[in-house]
Structure 1
């Protein structure tokens, strides 16, 4: 089994989009897939099909029902805030140890060819009262698929996240760079080339808005 941790260099840079593309590409090759996003905030209990967990479930070809939602994302909170902030508003205290235990149980039980564990927010975003996404990543020790953007300023965010993850002793499988849709975004190809120049040998994978074939080369 291949297991990867899908982490973001920033918030809303396309982690779930990249994860879903990989799941779909793997299934197209005849591989079995699984995904786990232990914590999610900003999700409606009544209308979650288009949420991150809902998209992951759909990409796995699984039914969009309550049982699958619980299996893919057991810790769900309504407020669109960091997980610990959102949890507090519902009287819940998120502890890193519980999240780590849930992830490890999924990893041990998984029988899929490809398992993706997706974080919430960026690498240094709080995930629990006592830990960041990076702390979960270190506890699990999985190779990391880092997802970043190409907006103005993303170069620093991407390279900083890359440096932090590598300094933590984690292997970076690749840095997937999502093309920004803004009219004033820097040139995408030039941004990708500059990231490759400064990435110290880490593979840079362009994720253009108008193509999906890039995912086939990652599975």
Structure 2
């Protein structure tokens, strides 16, 4: 069955969600698919200084410049403090409008274009006083992939996140492991352990370098079910 979209979530923050979103967007476009990608919520940004941000990376992967219209399409909910949305919004005297978030996402994913939706932080980060990222995934009725690091302790974080998501009835398509920096366990051994314990497809992304590292990522398209592109 063709998927209408896929949610990119993680075991925590600053792990590699945007790298995965950009890589998968780029790879699907290279394969001839029409793809959209959004990161509706972004925190830790200053208006007017968007170059190098996650939003700019996603725009680049879609072959777009970052004008005001593109910025508002990819990341309409923007906050200055690098905190969970519930906390970042509160510092600005705001409350994230969860219903508007869902409505905004649905307007994109209900079009006949496969859409990647990148979350914020991990799968259980608070969005409001009573909604988590996991609620967001469920209310959009999208399958998800979990992005994780390869640091010592990641196996516990992955299993905890996966089991908590599955307990909510969320469909997890696979796990992408972005190699962590520093003194970490053997990368291949870590991937093998994750496969053993999760029984899911697991793809490892080694440390990448260069201006647009997402162009060098291993093939992630096996996590997506799409009809062949029209010739």
Partner of 2:139: 139
| Number of aligned residues | 215
Q: Give runs of aligned pairs for residues 106-145 of structure 1, distance below 5 A.
A: 106-108=108-110, 110-112=111-113, 114-145=114-145
Gaps of 5+ in 2: 209-215, 225-231
Distance of 1:168 and 1:118 partners within structure 2: 19
What are the superposed Cα offsets for residues 78-98 of structure 1, whole Å, 9 maximum, x if unpaired? Answer: 111111111112121113222
Question: Alpha-carbon deviation of 1:216?
Answer: 4.5
Secondary structure, in 3 states, of the residue corresponding to 2:66? Answer: coil
Partner of 2:66: 64
Partner of 1:94: 96
Give the conservation status (yes or no) of the 8 Å contact 1:35–1:116.
Answer: yes
Alignment partner of 1:34 out of 33, 36, 43: 36
What are the superposed Cα offsets for residues 39-62 of structure 1, whole Å, 9 maximum, x if unpaired? Answer: 110012121121111111111111
Instruction: Please give the TM-score of this superposition, normalised by the length of structure 2.
Output: 0.88
Partner of 1:14: 16
Partner of 1:157: 157
After the TM superposition, list the runs of 4 or more consecutive aligned residues in structure 1 that deviate by more than 3 angstroms. 216-219
Secondary structure, in 3 states, of the residue corresponding to 2:220? Answer: helix
Give the conservation status (yes or no) of the 8 Å contact 2:45–2:82.
Answer: yes
Gaps of 5+ in 1: none
Secondary structure, in 3 states, of the residue corresponding to 2:120? Answer: strand
Partner of 1:212: 217
Distance of 1:133 and 1:94 partners within structure 2: 12
Give the conservation status (yes or no) of the 8 Å contact 1:96–1:129.
Answer: no
Instruction: Please give the TM-score of this superposition, normalised by the length of structure 1.
Output: 0.93
Partner of 2:187: 188
Partner of 2:200: 202
